[in-house]
């Protein structure tokens, strides 16, 4: 029987147990191509508080779970190249279609589907003829994991949990989801144990080995903007 490809385009920043479950389940029926999104300016990746971990580190996280798996490939072809404004508005911009063509460049199968648990993203994938399958969003959010990481980092640094500037930079919906879900977990130990339970053990080690990245972005204002439902770095938006 002909193998069908499954495209999984995601931030994966960081990789969570939800991502692990999605990829594992897809690999049971499809040849899975995982595309961690990358934002480039003059050939250099841009990272922000929303996108702290660079592509190579996210690839390492994925390989720590799936290295050697015949049905899973991790590809660097989901690249936005500055100025990012050229990809907007989605669907109408010819550059967004070039991005689609780049994603499909290394997909070997003639037939493919794509995966997302988000309704709006599913509509976009359908408009791009990427054949999304119906799926349910899993509970674990990378945004929640990041905020738990930043909370632990700031406490370890002896700083207030979230200062005024950082608080204003948080996406309100993510922050509200975080507050509601973790309102009973107010001490350092519970924060630390919570994020560790939400990511695979091998990813916990990789994050710990690169804790300087967490500390750096925990103390920074988020330089990310959301336009047409897309999160993009402010740096590189216009030039």
The set of residues, in sequence order, having a beta carbon less than 8 Å from that of 101 and lying 6+ positions away, is none
The reported pLDDT for the residue numbered 190 is 53
d(CA 207, CA 201): 10
The reported pLDDT for the residue numbered 178 is 42
d(CA 170, CA 181): 16
Give the chain's radius of gyration (CA, Å): 18
The reported pLDDT for the residue numbered 119 is 85
Which has the closest alpha carbon to 188: 149, 235, 226, 225?
Answer: 149
Q: Residue ranges of the chain with pLDDT lower than 50?
A: 161-185, 187-188
The reported pLDDT for the residue numbered 94 is 97
The reported pLDDT for the residue numbered 37 is 97
The reported pLDDT for the residue numbered 192 is 56
Answer yes or no: are the C-beta atoms of 195 and 20 closer than 8 Å: no
Record the pTM. Answer: 0.86
d(CA 195, CA 92): 39
Torsion of CA 217, 218, 220, 225, to 10 degrees: 70
* Domains in the chain, CATH or no CATH each: 5-133 (3.40.50.620), 143-222 (no CATH)
The reported pLDDT for the residue numbered 136 is 79
The reported pLDDT for the residue numbered 1 is 60
- The strand pairing partners of 40, in sequence order, are 45, 81
């Amino acid at each position: 029987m002909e193998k069908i490809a499954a495209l999984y385009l995601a931030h994966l920043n960081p990789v969570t147990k939800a991502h692990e479950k999605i990829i594992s389940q897809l690999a049971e029926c499809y040849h899975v191509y995982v595309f961690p999104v990358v934002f480039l300016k003059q050939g250099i990746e841009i990272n922000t508080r929303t996108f702290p971990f660079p592509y190579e580190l996210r690839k390492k996280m994925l390989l720590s779970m799936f290295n050697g798996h015949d049905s899973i490939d991790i590809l660097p072809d989901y690249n936005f190249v500055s100025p990012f404004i050229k990809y907007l508005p989605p669907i109408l911009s010819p550059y967004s279609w070039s991005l689609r063509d780049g994603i499909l460049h290394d997909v070997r199968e003639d037939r493919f589907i794509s995966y997302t648990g988000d309704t709006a993203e599913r509509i976009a994938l359908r408009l791009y003829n990427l054949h999304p399958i119906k799926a349910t969003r899993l509970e674990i959010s990378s945004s929640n994991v990041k905020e738990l990481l930043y909370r632990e980092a700031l406490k370890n640094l002896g700083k207030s949990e979230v200062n005024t500037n950082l608080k204003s930079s948080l996406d309100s919906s993510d922050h509200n989801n975080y507050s509601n879900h973790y309102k009973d977990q107010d001490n350092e130990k519970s924060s630390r144990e919570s994020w560790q339970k939400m990511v695979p053990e091998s990813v916990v080690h990789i994050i710990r080995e690169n804790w300087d990245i967490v500390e750096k972005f925990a103390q920074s204002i988020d330089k990310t903007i959301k336009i047409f439902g897309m999160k993009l770095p402010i740096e590189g938006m216009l030039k």
